[in-house]
Structure 1
């Protein structure tokens, strides 16, 4: 029990400079960079298009006069190409382009194989073609059409590798045209992370979006059927991207305490941690009691307090100790609460001592 008394109890305080820096705008870089427009949300992949760039062009036999003109033009073009070849630079892929507008081109440069793989996946899903990655590692990427080779013989392929003069992955060879039939049933290409990112904006606006609704939207938007389990996992993946994991939230417990004091001045916020010999700080408990709740209990509530505890389930386990009172309407009036790692005599004693100080009980005298 004596070892528990070595906790570092810290009162969270905010100085004036920190108060001035506070803003209503979300400070999460991901949420700030997330586009909230309706253009991508309402987009539905068209089943039929008048012009398809990815279809193989039909070659026509040129006339004799046209052949002579083309030969003269080719000679002039070759001379100009030799002069400007050294100055030519390939384009760089823009990851901020809408997913349904991404189109890989020969010579285009990418930051990593994952970025190129995402671009090829987006383009294949938006156009309704199946692709397969024969090789995708840290050195090279090779992508071909996943349709029946004997039936369609689709010549589509993409080959990319790292450039020798810079740290960029470049498409060295590709044949971008498909000769196979379109098939929008691209469930294998739609990974959980890909599906999750398609519904980030929707989940930010409507956090109560059900997995069944996501399943229906995928069928309407992408013309693909997915199972309820997969839509549920995609929803969980999207919520983890938006909110972050619970471990990341607990790592920012100091910011949480500071934000509580900023929005609720003169409240009682105490955070207890334990420093290990390896330099890692372990969270032990956190006590919260708002100023308005303290004053409200003193003015209008009955002098009756009930204590209770609840188990915290999930990634970060623990227990929640609470104090509850009764208001004049005989309704529940929460007073304060503390998150602890385990329920024991020391934690209860510390919790009740904090309650006594905040409510001015004076050991029960005068209540």
Structure 2
């Protein structure tokens, strides 16, 4: 079968525009076309696109729109993304690709306008036949490489040199040169040439006094001089050159009845001849923010140490770490919005969620002082998909947030028919506490229309055991203890000194006891632990195995024993956890919206009755029946012989091995009996694993929340005022030390001579006694 090819229309150089409905359109730029298919590698694709538009590979981003969705741009970063895009456009002949590139071009130093000079000068004019090496010897440090793209190589901010001109003698020309051209590619060098004419003269107007001050800083940097304020308030700004005797002056004041600042007087002449050094340029936090803001859009993880390095290299200004950090924080707030403003908009944001996504639940609480306390969000598409298509199985987990006000994200997720993570609800709270989990479960019960028969997989700590039993006491729900949390607690509570190897063996036996389908198998595993430690055995027997061991658990877990289904949302938070609360919630909403659409589109191409992962599991069981022998019975119970002898009840979907009951898919013994009866094994699979049921899970859509970034106006109802929570992230770098599971993994010293623990052979007392 020949794979269909798609014509990719690649566009670059234009701009995205957003209409009132949030739909994006691309205007301007150039376009090229190329043919792609599923066999093309992303590396080759990106290289060819880069050659088309002469782009820098390191700064180029490739994006596209999903079919029928012009509101969200999807990035292509690897082979899987490229293949997925081609699959999405499988029914089309063309696909539109957008190339976003932050191209930074260095100025042509041979054609720069006049400006300030530095103290560094050349002692003499180089001869007409001087080679580049001779010039390097005069003005550069020995051994430094020469950039062949420049006529003059310097390691200072400015240089005075001579050019051959049609006059009787050489004429001195001053030109601003960015700091340290040496060793940098021309495309990577950013200069302040764009700010040379940011101040034009008398009559120029600015929207605010802050805008005028910012323009002054950029102008002084471009022209390589420093200034000082004579008057500086909200109505008047008077500035002079910092060099003594230099006549450069500028005076601006506010226009009456407006916020505009207008330049009233200006003397643009400098006579200081470079005596004002650039080391005195005012590198304020707002100026640093204006420099790094554009780069933060492309590189959200731009680090302060990199900001210090880049500004030193590009502008010749030495910042300290704190200046860079504060500048980055200001730039982030300008890009992402204010944390304080986000909390104040929270009431209307919740109303907008429920208005644009009917059937959703978005609610919050505040403390007595109106400060933020808790926020719960669950979208209708998630609730509908869970109730109509997913197994009655919910995983509860908490994710620590690294935002300005810290907090924790409480998450409830489900497993779809392909064993993929399906988000149901989440909440932002101050900490993972008994009270907050209780509140979260109350909201979850309110959001769900039916709760009967649900199995919760969650930690037994933090009040979850009591809250689940209390809130869902009349709904016949089950609570399965998460094996990961339980095993970590098991290791922490053991007081004996056990070696790393012994602890590992006990954890293996613990997991074996949990997965054992029969009480006999469970007992064999715990007896192995008992032989090592009576204390460990007693801990296990007192930990309520009815909540975690397959041999005794009464609910349906479909072989899911841990609650780590929140890892998908945790990966989403890697780029969103530092956003203000509204932007963070909306980023999660966008991820869920994209997830639903992507899986919905993928499932439309499936041709099997079951989802791919379940088809694979069923096929593995089907292979095993070759070694089995079925004894036919007149009733509905059959005996199947192989390595073991099992009894199968086809009518009740029961096998004595319990795999059928635990997974929802017929085991090999059941398939052997079903085949002997000339029936179809698919008819005995759980409906939750069918492709049709999977499509129902992802049949609803999540809609954008309108006006999230715009100025919201309060409606007729009086909305509560919300202020930021009182707790804030402590200063300094957060600790990376993990607790809990480290106790189980920490290796104990073990002597290779006497096999004892707590020492090695060099300090073995028994050996010394011998």
Fold shared per TM-score above 0.5: yes
- Is the CA contact (8 Å cut-off) linking 1:128 and 1:186 kept in structure 2? no
Which range moves more in the overlay, 191-200 or 335-344?
335-344
Q: Distance in 2 between matches of 1:268 and 1:140?
A: 53
If the length of structure 2 is used for normalisation, what is the TM-score? Answer: 0.31
Q: Distance in 1 between matches of 2:265 and 2:389?
A: 78
- Is the CA contact (8 Å cut-off) linking 2:196 and 2:222 kept in structure 1? yes
Establish whether residue 157 from structure 1 lines up as the match of residue 246 from structure 2: no
Which residue in 1 is equivalent to 2:114? 52
Which residue in 2 is equivalent to 1:364? 476
RCO higher in 1 or 2 (8 Å CA, sep ≥ 6)? 1
Superposition deviation, residue 222 in structure 1: 1.5
Which residue in 2 is equivalent to 1:286? 376
Measured at CA, do residues 100 and 298 of structure 1 come closer, stay the same or move farther in structure 2, by a change above 3 Å?
A: farther
- Is the CA contact (8 Å cut-off) linking 1:214 and 1:231 kept in structure 2? yes
Residue 238 of structure 1 aligns to a residue in which SS? helix
Superposition deviation, residue 125 in structure 1: 0.9
Measured at CA, do residues 196 and 138 of structure 1 come closer, stay the same or move farther in structure 2, by a change above 3 Å?
A: closer
Q: Distance in 2 between matches of 1:274 and 1:24?
A: 35
Q: In the TM superposition, what are the counterparts of 1:321-340 in structure 2 within 5 Å?
A: 321-325=410-414, 334-340=423-429
Which residue in 1 is equivalent to 2:446? 354
- Is the CA contact (8 Å cut-off) linking 2:226 and 2:280 kept in structure 1? no
Q: Distance in 2 between matches of 1:251 and 1:339?
A: 15
Q: Distance in 2 between matches of 1:251 and 1:139?
A: 31
Measured at CA, do residues 192 and 359 of structure 1 come closer, stay the same or move farther in structure 2, by a change above 3 Å?
A: farther
Which residue in 2 is equivalent to 1:69? none
Measured at CA, do residues 23 and 113 of structure 1 come closer, stay the same or move farther in structure 2, by a change above 3 Å?
A: closer
Residue 353 of structure 1 aligns to a residue in which SS? helix
Superposition deviation, residue 115 in structure 1: 3.6
If the length of structure 1 is used for normalisation, what is the TM-score? Answer: 0.60
Superposition deviation, residue 326 in structure 1: 5.5
Which residue in 2 is equivalent to 1:142? 238
Q: Deviations over 1:158-213 (max 9, x none)?
A: 23445679876544443211122446735641211122122322222332333333
Which residue in 2 is equivalent to 1:307? 396
Which residue in 1 is equivalent to 2:266? 174
Q: Distance in 1 between matches of 2:257 and 2:331?
A: 38
Residue 200 of structure 1 aligns to a residue in which SS? helix
- Is the CA contact (8 Å cut-off) linking 2:364 and 2:374 kept in structure 1? yes
Which residue in 1 is equivalent to 2:311? 218
Q: Distance in 1 between matches of 2:427 and 2:377?
A: 4
Q: Deviations over 1:134-175 (max 9, x none)?
A: 22123432211123x2xxx32222234456798765444432
Q: Distance in 2 between matches of 1:351 and 1:129?
A: 61
Residue 159 of structure 1 aligns to a residue in which SS? strand
Q: Deviations over 1:297-331 (max 9, x none)?
A: 86454x54443445556444654333345567877
Q: Which has the larger radius of gyration?
A: 2
Structure 2 portions without partners, runs of 5+:
1-18, 26-99, 118-193, 455-474, 478-554, 557-770
Which range moves more in the overlay, 351-360 or 128-137?
351-360
Which range moves more in the overlay, 98-107 or 251-260?
251-260
Q: Distance in 1 between matches of 2:349 and 2:260?
A: 40
Structure 1 portions without partners, runs of 5+:
1-19, 27-36, 56-97
Superposition deviation, residue 286 in structure 1: 2.0
Superposition deviation, residue 274 in structure 1: 6.3
Which residue in 1 is equivalent to 2:210? 114
Q: In the TM superposition, what are the counterparts of 1:196-207 in structure 2 within 5 Å?
A: 196-207=289-300
Which residue in 1 is equivalent to 2:51? none
Residue 351 of structure 1 aligns to a residue in which SS? helix
- Is the CA contact (8 Å cut-off) linking 1:113 and 1:136 kept in structure 2? no
Which residue in 2 is equivalent to 1:23? 22
Q: Distance in 2 between matches of 1:305 and 1:127?
A: 63
Establish whether residue 126 from structure 1 lines up as the match of residue 222 from structure 2: yes
Establish whether residue 246 from structure 1 lines up as the match of residue 339 from structure 2: yes
Superposition deviation, residue 242 in structure 1: 0.4
Which residue in 2 is equivalent to 1:42? 104
Q: Distance in 1 between matches of 2:313 and 2:250?
A: 30
Q: How many residues align?
A: 287
RMSD of aligned Cα (Å):
4.4
Q: Distance in 2 between matches of 1:105 and 1:180?
A: 20
Measured at CA, do residues 245 and 165 of structure 1 come closer, stay the same or move farther in structure 2, by a change above 3 Å?
A: closer
